[in-house]
Chain A
């Protein structure tokens, strides 16, 4: 039954990918169109897998179905870096924003931020995951405020540069970086996948998991770092895309009705792929690029979030 549902998701994802690849094909420019579209599909696939996988794991280690890794504040750090670069270097930044070195520096800074939080709160023995998330949330707000402040006082033309990076977009993905990102993301996902049976046990609660011999605290800490790297890479690649994970991780749980992470991880990734491909098709073919994809995703994700809150509050 579960396998059949997964196969269904794979078929939908493949169908959408095919549609995206061949829609409005111009035979004269076929080679060029196929290449750029394949690159976009690869970017969407990488982003989808890292968001889907990291959100499912994040929800399992926090035992909370309405959280996403964005609560760690990485998005805000990303925006802060973008803003400060434009703020300091002015209109010449376009070159910087597109460079490979910049990509790695943003990843390093985001991961450094997460490591800093980790050192501050985990190293002192006790497991204070929620305190850590709270500090992340507060620092995230702090960085957003700083970014808004700088955005107020810079040249409006330069602000446009920042505005571009506020929303995730697949239209101008740096193709040189795709391969590097692919290696990092796939390696981390394989690493996470090896823990899938532990996650199953962890989802029945900490005490049961410890009783059954799961090194609970150790896994929580390790996964916190792995998730931070995953989110950092995908954010640096395409931009912040918060709600996608919330949407697809929960849809995966609702759709499969299972605790087995083997299926949850795959389904959340596939649903993310479907959401991104579908969203991108709408953006390109219906809105003709006038709306960034993350606006659509956030719109749908927001509605779903409200639905979740209403539904969960009815349970109590």
Chain B
């Protein structure tokens, strides 16, 4: 379980996150939603030790994240941030192989190679695995990075806008894959997501943020309500039940 206690973060004198406390349950998809600049990405970065908080503590399975060995953490928690620019000339397979670094320290075993192949297969990039990253489209690149995170084979997976650059088909495939990881392998997944309907259909719990604070939190059906959404986005949003899914209409 991930527990954040009274996290705060300043960039200069600007408070980006203020006294945020949140618990993330295991074996579920938790989506973080909210307007731009709400602090969702910053929160995820702090939870995954990419960024050090100015105040507060993050506990991962009861232990302070910043007091654990980075190498051990890399086997438990993985994060993929939004913008992934790599200047090196890398093939897809080489990139995904980096995901095995916490286990192999650079010397891949047969088992590592196996896991890399599986991860590439999960995101349907088998045919492109020897292509260089700069030859790929935005969506293919995004999938390659997600495959790297999958190859890391961690219990917790944090993805910051994983649907970026993906077309509808691949977005749906990606969310189905994430669901499968939760249901078949008991993974715990945290997402920052902007498409409210993807959040509604695929996540178990939703945490809504605004101005560096959490404004609503709970099971998906409690959050996907017109009045709750209005308070988050300042926008009139109708919620309809369509084939057992709660779909938001806000156009």
Contacts and interface: CB of A to CB of B under 8 A. Distances in A.
Contacts of A197: 101, 105-107
Given A201-B101, A204-B95, A211 B86 contact: no
A213 B50 contact: no
Given A204-B95, A207-B81, A213 B102 contact: yes
A257 interface: yes
B88 A211 contact: no
A206 to B, nearest CB: 8
Interface string B42-72: 0000001110000000000000000001111
Contacts of B87: 63, 203
A196 B152 CA distance: 20
Interface string A252-281: 000001110000000000000000000000
Query: Size band of the B side of the interface?
Result: 20 to 34
A204 B102 contact: no
Nearest to B132: A257
Contacts of A257: 89
A265 to B, nearest CB: 14
A77 to B, nearest CB: 31
A259 B98 CA distance: 12
B106 A200 contact: yes
B78 interface: yes
Contacts of A258: 89
A213 B86 CA distance: 18
B1 interface: no
Contacts of A208: 84, 98, 148
Nearest to A206: B50
B79 interface: yes
A204 B90 contact: yes
B130 to A, nearest CB: 13
B150 to A, nearest CB: 13
A211 B149 CA distance: 9
B75 A213 contact: yes
B9 to A, nearest CB: 14
A207 B73 contact: no
Nearest to A215: B70
A211 B106 contact: no
B168 interface: no
A303 interface: no
Contact of B50 (A63, A201, A204, A211): A211
Nearest to A212: B101
A112 interface: no
Contacts of A215: 70-71
Interface string B22-56: 00000000000000000000000000111000000
Given A204-B90, A205-B86, A207-B81, A212 B95 contact: no
B74 interface: yes
Contacts of B72: 213
B85 A212 contact: no
B70 A210 contact: yes
Q: Which of A197, A211, A214 has the most CB of B within 10 A?
A: A211
Interface in A205-231: 205, 207-208, 210-215
A204 B98 contact: yes
Interface in A153-210: 196-197, 200-201, 203-205, 207-208, 210
20 contacts: A200-B106, A204-B88, A204-B95, A204-B98, A207-B50, A207-B79, A208-B98, A208-B148, A210-B49, A210-B70, A211-B48, A211-B80, A212-B74, A212-B98, A212-B152, A213-B70, A213-B72, A214-B70, A214-B101, A259-B89
Closest 6 CB pairs of A and B: A213-B74, A197-B106, A213-B71, A259-B88, A213-B102, A212-B101
Given A211-B152, A212-B102, 15 more contacts: A197-B101, A201-B101, A203-B88, A204-B98, A205-B85, A207-B50, A211-B50, A211-B80, A212-B74, A213-B69, A213-B70, A213-B72, A214-B70, A215-B70, A259-B90
